[in-house]
Each structure stands twice: as structure tokens, then as C-alpha cells.
Amino acid sequence: MKLKSILGLPSVGRAISTLVAIHFLLGAVLTLPRPAQAGTLGANVIGMFPKDVGEFGYADMKKPAR
């Protein structure tokens, strides 16, 4: 019994559990996708779309993917 109290086995187990939980949460946060970001377009691209359109999407296929 004295050996367990000297080594502090219950606190070691709790510390390991805490570290595992922290690593799990950190891994989960790092694997989440990044939010989408909108860029700006020049007047020449915007001019290609009709004037009465409220929203539109545009993908520049010439730019390499990030």
C-alpha cells in the first residue's frame, strides 16, 4: 500500500487521461475544415454577368489550387 501512495499511481493515471483527452481535442480541432474565404473580382469579370443578378459564383480555373 505504501508503494502506491509513494508513486502516486492514481494521480499518474489521471494525468495520463488528461493528456490523452487534450491530444484528442487538439487533433479534432486541427482536422476541422477552414472556413471559406471570398475574394474580389475585377470589373471585367463582373461585367460578364447580367445586371439583375443578385448573387453569382465564379471559379478561376487558371489559378492553381491551394
> Average model confidence (pLDDT) for the chain?
77
Given this model, what pLDDT does residue 1 score?
47
Q: What does the pLDDT read at residue 24? A: 93
Check if the beta carbon of residue 49 is closer than 8 Å to that of residue 56: yes
CB atoms within 10 A of CB 19: 10
Predicted confidence (pLDDT) at residue 3 exceeds the cutoff of 70? no
Which pTM does this prediction carry? 0.40
Separation of alpha carbons 63 and 32, rounded Å: 25
Reported confidence tier of residue 7, pLDDT bands at 50, 70, 90: low
What is the helix, strand, coil percentage profile of the chain, to 5? Answer: 50, 0, 50
Residue 2: predicted pLDDT:
55
The reported pLDDT for the residue numbered 33 is: 83
